[in-house]
A = this chain, B = another copy of it.
Amino acid sequence: MTNTSVHSHTPHQEHHLHSSDFISDIVIGMSDGLTVPFALAAGLSGAVANSSLVVTAGIAEIVAGSIAMGLGGYLAGRTEADHYSSELRREINEVETVPEREKEEVREIFADMGLSPALQITIADELSKDKAKWVDFMMKYELGLDEPDPNRATKSALTIGLSYVVGGLIPLSPYFLISNPFDSLLYSCGITLICLFVFGYFKSKVTDQPPVAGAFKVMVIGALAAAAAFGVAKLIS
């Protein structure tokens, strides 16, 4: 459930993503929240006699999943911020102490873009005149790092965790009301598949994908996970 810990973004796309980090976190949390507790409840419905046990297991899963995902998101955010600070210190130091090597690195970046050696040298000379701008350039284009929002980690943790809880309570809700787990399962399937479809539709809109196809994909994943969990739990119980 870690989301960005081992990945980073282009400066260009990062700009675009900043405005939708919040929505991206909701998608991450709710996607799993709707799917995993739904499948777990479905699995247990084929194996136990009373809904109250499904509720207990479902709530335990929601608590476990939201903490694992929320804290995972928090640590990923903190790691990103720490990484940025330490790389920034290093670049500032390198521009001061080994400027020629840093200029060579600038030239290499433009060589990778396919520019001529003469142009590479002109650019490196121009960039290195302003040290603040130069460090900024190295952070963005050598390392691909943007300055992270200092409150991102906390906001991300809360958004992902709460979205998981909200998503998870939807498939579980019939089990609170109906004591026969198989009857609860029928209602749970109906409600959850509709919610997965609607959620998949908006998720696809946000990530710029064909919305109806995306809605079906999300719904099918949920249905497959639930069917598999039901089958396996029935087999071993």
Q: Please report A residues at the B interface, Cβ cutoff 8 Å.
A: 1-13, 17, 20, 24, 27-28, 31-32, 35-36, 38-40, 42-44, 47-48, 52-53, 55-57, 59-61, 63-65, 67-68, 71-72, 75, 79, 82-83, 109, 112-116, 119, 122-123, 126-127, 130, 133, 136-137, 140-144, 206-209, 217, 221-222, 224-226, 228-230, 232-233, 236-237
Given contacts A35-B68, A237-B56, contact A228 B2 (CB under 8 A): no
CB distance from A185 to the nearest CB of B (A): 12
With a CB–CB cut-off of 8 A, which chain B residues contact A27?
A: 2, 6
CA distance A24 to B8 in the complex (A): 13
> Least Cβ distance of A236 to chain B in Å?
6
Q: Is the CB of B224 within 8 A of A67?
A: yes
A218 closest partner in B (C-beta): B75
Summarize A's interface: helix, strand, loop or mixed. helix
A72 CA to B69 CA, complexed, in Å: 15
Contact B31 A1, beta carbon cutoff 8 Å: yes
Are the CB atoms of A40 and B67 closer together than 8 Å? no
Question: What residues of chain B lie closer than 8 Å to A7, measured between beta carbons?
Answer: 3-4, 7, 9, 17, 24
Give chain B nearest CB distance to A4 CB in angstroms: 6
CA distance in complex: A224, B67 (Å)? 8
26 contacts between A and B (CB under 8 A): A2-B31, A6-B24, A6-B27, A6-B206, A7-B17, A9-B9, A12-B141, A12-B143, A12-B144, A31-B72, A36-B36, A36-B61, A36-B64, A39-B60, A39-B68, A40-B57, A43-B56, A43-B64, A57-B57, A61-B229, A68-B221, A71-B225, A82-B209, A114-B137, A115-B123, A119-B119
